[in-house]
Every structure is written in C-alpha cells, then in structure tokens.
Amino acid sequence: MANSDVGRPSNTPLIIISSLMLLFGVLVVSGALTPMFKSLHTHKQIDLMETMTFVGAILGFVTALLRQVRMNKPMGRFDVFVLETVPGILFIMVLAMGIRWFMEPVVVLMSKQLVPVLGFKLHKVLNLNYVVLGILVGIVITNSWGIPKFAASGVKTARFVLKMGVILLGARYSFAELAKLGMVSVWMIGFFVLGTVFFVLFLGNLFKQPKSMTGVLSAGMGVCGVSATVACAPVVRARCSEMAYTIGTILGFGILCMFAFPTIGKIVGMNPTQFGAWAGTGILNSAQVAAACLAFNAVDIKTLKVGEIFNITRVLFLPVIVLVLASWYGKQSGKKLSFKEVVIDKFPLFILGFLLLFLMSSFGLFSPSDHYKGKYLDFSYNQRTEITPEELTVLQNAETVGIPGLNADEKAAFEDLVKQHQIAGNFADRDNKTAFDTTARQRMAGLESILARAKGKEITIGAEVKSALKHAVRQVHKKSKTIVTLTDAMIWFFAYGLIGLGMQITRKSLAQAGGWPLVMGAISGITKASLSFIVVMYFVKDVVLK
Amino acid sequence: MFKRILLATHGTPGARKAEDLAADWARKTGAELAVVSIFNDDWKHMTGDDWLNTSTARMQFASYVEDQVNDEMDALEQRLREQFQGLNVRFLRRSGVVEDELCKAAEETGADIVVLGAYQKKQAPGFKARFENRQLHPQLPCPLLVAP
C-alpha cells in the first residue's frame, strides 16, 4: 500500500502486527504453545494472552480499515489522536508482551544455566526483569533502527500511559501508609531537593558560572531531572548550550543510577521501604525512579509504592523550586512572572488523578470500606482462609512430635492454628471486634516469628510445616478482585510506558553531556545519592507497609 | 574561480575558522557568499523522557528554545554582517536534519563549494551534535571544504 499524500504512514505494518497478534492468539487457544509456556513458567497467563492478542488484533484490523478509508483525505482530530496512534500503541504492546512472556523467562532460564560457569545468577545481579529489559529494548530500537515511522505517533502515548500507571497506583495506598510515608518523604525530599538546589547554586558561584546555567542545573539535579530542566529553563533564561549540556548530563547520570541503584540496594540488603526511599530521593528522573523500584522488585509492588510517594512529593516541590528560582533570577533580570506561569502551568495534573483513585479506594469503591484504611487482614471465621486438609495433617503431626525451641507465644499460636484450621481470634470474642482482632494478630505474629526464626536458623522446622505456616499467614491477607485487576493493569501500564520512554533516550541527547554542567552535575548528583543512602540506611529502618 | 560559496556556521570556534576562510576566498574571487545556519533537528530529542510536565510546559520549552536559537542566529548574523562588510552576502536559516538541510541549501543557492569548520579537539561551546560525514557526503551537490 502506498503512502497517502497527506503524510500518513502506510497501513502495511499495522496489518502485519495485527495478523501476528491474531496468529499468536489462535496458536495460544489451540494449545500448541502450552508446552513452551509451561517450560517458560508463563502458562498461568494464557487467559490474559488470549484476551490481549485478540483485542489487539481486532483493534488493529478495525483501525487499518478506517485508515484505509481515510487515506488521501486531510487529517482531522480523530485521525491525529486515534487512528494514527493505534499502530504505535500496538507496536509497543507487542514489544511489552514479547518481553513479559518470552524475553524475560528466557533470560532467567539462560541466567540459571550459566550459574555453573559464572557462579551467580546474572539476571539477579543485573536486575534483568521485564522493566529493565523493556527500557533496554526501547533504547536499542531508538538508537539503532530508529522508531519506525508508522509507530512514531503512538510512541508518544508512553508519557500518558505512565501517568495512568501512577494514577492506578493511588488505589493501593491506605490513609495510614500515605500519612506515614508522606511525612518521611516530605522531610527527606524537602531536605535533599532544597539542599541540592542550593548546593548547585553554591557550586556555580564557586566555579564562577553564569546564573542561567546554575539555575537550570540546580532544578534538574535537585527536583526531577529533565522535567525540571524543561520547566525551569525559560524561567532562568538558560542558553541553548546550557540546556543541552544539562539535559545530557541528567539523562546520562539518571541511566547510570537506574542500573546501579537496584544492584547496590540488593548488595547492602535494603528492604523495600529503604530502597524506595533511596531511589525516590537519589535518582533524578521520575521515570527512572519507577524503573529502578520495579527492577529492585517487579513482583511485589511495595518498593514501587514507597518510591512513588517520594517521587510524587518531589514533583510537588517543582512549582516551589520554579518559584524560588524565578525570584532568585528575577532579582537580576528584573522580569516578573505571573503565578499562573510559575505554579499553575507547572503543576502535574496527574497527581490529582492519583489522589482521586486513592480517595475512591479509601471510601470503599473498590473493596470493603475498612479494607484499605490500614486494615489489611481478614481474621473472620470462613472457609476461604482455612489451610488445606493436607497441611492440617502435616501441622498435627508436627504438633504431636513437637518443635524444639518454640517460645510460649509461638507454641500457643501454633496450637491455635491446628485447632481452628486458620488464623482467627477466639470464637467467644467474635462480637467484640477489637478483642477478636487483637488475639488474631498476636497469633499471626507468633506464626511469623516461627517463620522468621526458622529463616534465621534459630530453630529447625520441616519444609512442609514451613509451607503450611506461610499459607496460613497468606490466607488472612484479603485481596479485592478490583484492586488486583487495577494492579495488573498498572504493571502493564508501567511496562508499556517504560518501553516507550526508553525510546526517548537517544544517543544524541546523551552525547550533549559536557562542560561545567557535567562537572557540577556529577559532584552534586553523587553527593545527593551518597548522603541519601546514608540517611536511608541509618534512619529508615521501619518497614511501614504490610 | 568560485561564483557562489556556501558557508555553514553556528559561530563555534571551528566554524569561525571557516568564516575567515570563506570570507577570504570570497574577497579574492568576488564570489557571492551565502551563510546558512541550521536549527538542529536533534533538539526534538532534548526533552528526553520528560513525562511529568504538562503539554503547556513542554510547548513553552519548545517555543523558548526556538526563540533562543533565533536570538543566537540574530547575534551571529549581526556579527558576520560587520565582519563581511564589502562582500556580497546573504543569510539563510533552516530547520531540520543538518546534513539534509545543508545539501538543500547548497542546491538552492547553486553553490560551487560548501565551506564548514572542522571537528574540534577540545570541547567547544554550543550544541554538540554535528553532521555525520556518511550522511552528508552522498548528498552533496558540490565540493566540500573543511577549514582546518
């Protein structure tokens, strides 16, 4: 199919992608690929594969048809915002699916097979999960073949989709978490953002650099990387070379951090709260914070939750910093900026979406109202929270033989579990919710203590007993189907968004790094990352999430 | 010898050598001197993975960069007008991929030769993404001179 005369890319790539998705969907439904999925451990996602591929294929074919009809006609809004973006959206979707269902499992398998040679799991050391692989694939595509013309419009949706991911993340916080994390993050971000901004301004003065350069660099290094540079450059009247050097420096430093932080975090044994706090404070770029948190732990989103709170707090500081820089620079230039120019235009609207989802979740729109107010446990007597009959037999045998080394609380908790088949309070207290929950929590703490001490090799329990105890503890954690669905969608949004954003990281922009911005950026960036590391390691020990 | 010389410059130290050489040759040969400055297409990559800003902030940035580049080109043009007094000079501004725009300008001006500066050993000020020889050479409609 020939290109139209109004600049529309050909329909052929879209039809090829849609056909591939359809073919893949048919193969999945037929069961021909099931043995392969089992060997890759992705067979549990077969339902999702069917849904995503068929929906994608239908969307692709319908779009191709509409595009064909509209070929050689002037483009309207519907063409620009819908028809021309779908090919790129499907392109990234195919990449995301390929990475999640094939590339990541294959990398893990290969990494495990290389253990006898290397002596360690390569994918663990380099954090090669779907997030990191997605960004790498994006960077490789954009810097080798370039973004295909047919996908160019759709790739721009990555920014929007990433924001959607953060908005959906809002549904995963409780008031208690948000309040506690929020306070920690305000203090830490406040100190490090303002500290870095003033440190860079000090360095600029020390090295006798122009105010416009130190201004734009201080915002970039202090607040949120390129976004802050873009927001502040017009305010401090930065010169082109200063902007280019600053953006190049920030992007390069951010990419180094994105890969180094998760590895360092694992080496020193950070917990999710510590890593999220460190990444959210030390890494400049917000998308890279999300990537580093998911690289640290892509299965459990605790790290991402903490990192994003720090991230959002930092983003909220952006208008403040713009205001500070505007008044600092305005004194010299004599130019006054309006409140709208400085604050309203710079305010990231998606944070309102995040707060809206948080409030909707907190008021019980997605699950029972008391479920996301810090109460994550369901101790009520019901069949769902029971352990299996086989597990019960294992525990009864262990109780008969006895587990040496248990203290009184642990022993009582163990006996109650065998007696009730589940973690719960006393039946007699069932009308007194406070007493009932308190007893149940003590029992759960006892069982968790057994597991922790067994892990620390203080006591010895059999693998089957350990498995049964873990299951019992897991069973009282209540999950809302809506929240689970929102979380799955969020993970896909992040995967999609980060692939697309990887495609925005070009060699040409990185090559701009240089000059005094590189020197001052390196000094301030390393200082911030090191100091925040020390603060996190010494003062953020508490795991506030459950 | 030469009737039309096309000088490509952004006023960087390397390009200044090309400015001097092109002016010298234009004086000696009486050739018309066309000066082209190209707004580098690579600027579109310079917001990188910025995803937090509103479209308003991004548009403001793009507009600001455009203004800044134009201001720098104005200053360059002003300086060269003074430096090239007595010569038959015209100024061109382009925006896009450097190699493509340079060759288009050479074709449009009917240039006999294109003069530009050499890569600099030291880190020169200014936007650092320069042309790529592999992209430029096959498209050139006339000889290329690199001022040492």
ipTM: 0.83
For residue B54, what is the nearest residue in chain A, using CA coordinates?
A: A348
Mean pLDDT value across residues B124-138: 75
Q: Is the CA virtual torsion A253, A257, A259, A264 positive or negative? A: positive
Mean pLDDT value across residues A374-388: 73
Is residue A76 very low, low, confident or very high in pLDDT (cuts 50, 70, 90)? Answer: confident
Beta-bridge mates of residue B33: B5, B89
pLDDT at B125: 63
Q: How far is A48 from chain B (nearest CA, A)?
A: 28
Q: Cβ contacts (< 8 Å) between B128 and chain A: which residues?
A: 244, 511-512, 514
Q: Cβ contacts (< 8 Å) between B46 and chain A: which residues?
A: 243-244, 247, 509, 512
Three-state SS at A545: coil
pLDDT at A544: 47
Task: Tell me the C-alpha to C-alpha distance, in Å, between residue A374 and each of A351, A364, A544, A545.
Answer: 22, 13, 10, 9
Q: How far is B94 from chain A (nearest CA, A)?
A: 17
Considering CB atoms only, which of A247, A348, A501 is closest to B54? Answer: A348
Report the 10 Å Cβ neighbour count for A388.
Answer: 13
Question: CB distance B53–A240 less than 8 Å?
Answer: no
Question: CB distance B64–A227 less than 8 Å?
Answer: no
Q: Is the confidence at residue B134, as pLDDT, over 70?
A: yes
Question: CB distance B46–A348 less than 8 Å?
Answer: no
Domain count, chain B: 1
Q: How far is A540 from chain B (nearest CA, A)?
A: 27
Give the Cα separation of A43 and A23 in Å (integer). Answer: 18
Residue B104: give the domain boundaries: 4-146
For residue B122, what is the nearest residue in chain A, using CA coordinates?
A: A515
Q: Locate all alpha helices (DSSP H) within B5-54, ordered by sequence.
A: 13-29
Q: How far is B39 from chain A (nearest CA, A)?
A: 11
pLDDT at A389: 86
Mean pLDDT lowest among A199-203, A240-244, A411-415: A240-244
Is residue A78 very low, low, confident or very high in pLDDT (cuts 50, 70, 90)? Answer: confident
Q: Provide, rounded to the nearest whole percent, the portion of chain A with pLDDT above 70.
A: 93
Mean pLDDT lowest among A101-105, A284-288, A452-456, B71-75: A284-288
User: pLDDT tens, A6-63?
Assistant: 468 889 999 999 999 999 999 999 999 999 999 988 888 899 999 999 999 999 999 9
Three-state SS at B6: strand
Mean pLDDT value across residues A322-337: 69
Q: Cβ contacts (< 8 Å) between B15 and chain A: which residues?
A: none
User: pLDDT tens, A498-517?
Assistant: 898 888 888 888 877 778 88
CATH number for the domain harbouring residue B131: 3.40.50.620
Q: Does A143 touch chain B (CB under 8 A)?
A: no
Question: CB distance B126–A241 less than 8 Å?
Answer: yes
Burial of A370 per CB tally in 10 Å (0-12, 13-18, 19+): exposed
Q: Is the confidence at residue A272, as pLDDT, over 70?
A: yes
Mean pLDDT value across residues B25-40: 90
Q: Which amino acid is at B55?
A: S
pLDDT at B32: 92
In A341-496, at which residue ranges do the beta strands (DSSP E only) sit?
none
Question: CB distance A162–B60 less than 8 Å?
Answer: no
Q: Cβ contacts (< 8 Å) between A224 and chain B: which residues?
A: 52
Distance of CA A262 to the CA centre of its chain: 13
Mean pLDDT of chain A: 85
Give the Cα separation of A448 and A446 in Å (integer). Answer: 5
Q: Does B65 touch chain A (CB under 8 A)?
A: yes
Is residue A534 very low, low, confident or very high in pLDDT (cuts 50, 70, 90)? Answer: very high
Q: Does B42 touch chain A (CB under 8 A)?
A: yes
Q: Provide, rounded to the nearest whole percent, the portion of chain A with pLDDT above 90.
A: 27
Phi, then psi, of A243 in degrees rounded to 5: -65, -45
Q: Is the confidence at residue A176, as pLDDT, over 50?
A: yes
pLDDT at A4: 39
Per the document, the length of chain B is 148
Q: Does A511 touch chain B (CB under 8 A)?
A: yes
Q: Is the confidence at residue A2, as pLDDT, over 50?
A: no
User: pLDDT tens, A179-212?
Assistant: 878 888 888 888 998 899 889 989 998 988 888 8
Give the Cα separation of A478 and A484 in Å (integer). Answer: 11
Q: Cβ contacts (< 8 Å) between B72 and chain A: which residues?
A: 239-240
Q: Cβ contacts (< 8 Å) between B64 and chain A: which residues?
A: 233-234
Mean pLDDT value across residues A210-219: 87
pLDDT at A337: 65
Give the Cα separation of A261 and A280 in Å (integer). Answer: 11
Considering CB atoms only, which of A244, A287, A288 is closest to B127? Answer: A244
Considering CB atoms only, which of A226, A285, A514 is closest to B128? Answer: A514
For residue A319, what is the nearest residue in chain B, using CA coordinates?
A: B53
If one compares B1 and A14, the residue with the highest pLDDT of the two is: A14
Q: Does A348 touch chain B (CB under 8 A)?
A: yes
pLDDT at A372: 46
Three-state SS at A127: coil
Q: Are B62 and B34 in contact (CB under 8 A)?
A: no
If one compares B110 and A483, the residue with the highest pLDDT of the two is: B110
Enter the DSSP assignment of B127: -
Q: Which amino acid is at A78?
A: F
Q: Does A166 touch chain B (CB under 8 A)?
A: no
For residue B51, what is the nearest residue in chain A, using CA coordinates?
A: A159
Give the Cα separation of A491 and A131 in Å (integer). Answer: 9
Q: Does A163 touch chain B (CB under 8 A)?
A: yes
Question: CB distance B65–A240 less than 8 Å?
Answer: yes
Q: Does B95 touch chain A (CB under 8 A)?
A: no
Q: How far is A458 from chain B (nearest CA, A)?
A: 48
Q: Does B79 touch chain A (CB under 8 A)?
A: no
Q: Is the confidence at residue A285, as pLDDT, over 80?
A: no
pLDDT at B13: 81
Mean pLDDT value across residues B6-19: 88
pLDDT at A295: 87
User: pLDDT tens, A391-402?
Assistant: 999 999 998 888
Question: CB distance A514–B69 less than 8 Å?
Answer: no
Q: Is the confidence at residue A421, as pLDDT, over 50?
A: yes
Q: Does A528 touch chain B (CB under 8 A)?
A: no
Q: Which amino acid is at B123?
A: Q
Mean pLDDT value across residues B10-21: 87
Q: Does A81 touch chain B (CB under 8 A)?
A: no
pLDDT at A546: 42
Q: Are A326 and A337 in contact (CB under 8 A)?
A: yes
Mean pLDDT lowest among A266-270, A335-339, A523-527: A335-339
Q: Which amino acid is at A354?
A: F
Is residue A374 very low, low, confident or very high in pLDDT (cuts 50, 70, 90)? Answer: very low
pLDDT at A333: 56
Q: Is the confidence at residue B105, as pLDDT, over 90?
A: yes
Q: Is the confidence at residue A66, as pLDDT, over 70?
A: yes
pLDDT at A199: 92
Question: CB distance A346–B47 less than 8 Å?
Answer: no
Mean pLDDT lowest among A89-98, A237-246, B38-47: B38-47
Mean pLDDT value across residues B11-38: 89
Q: Cβ contacts (< 8 Å) between B127 and chain A: which residues?
A: 240-241, 244, 512
Q: Does B46 touch chain A (CB under 8 A)?
A: yes
User: What is the count of residue pairs from A and B with beta carbons less than 8 Å apart?
Assistant: 103
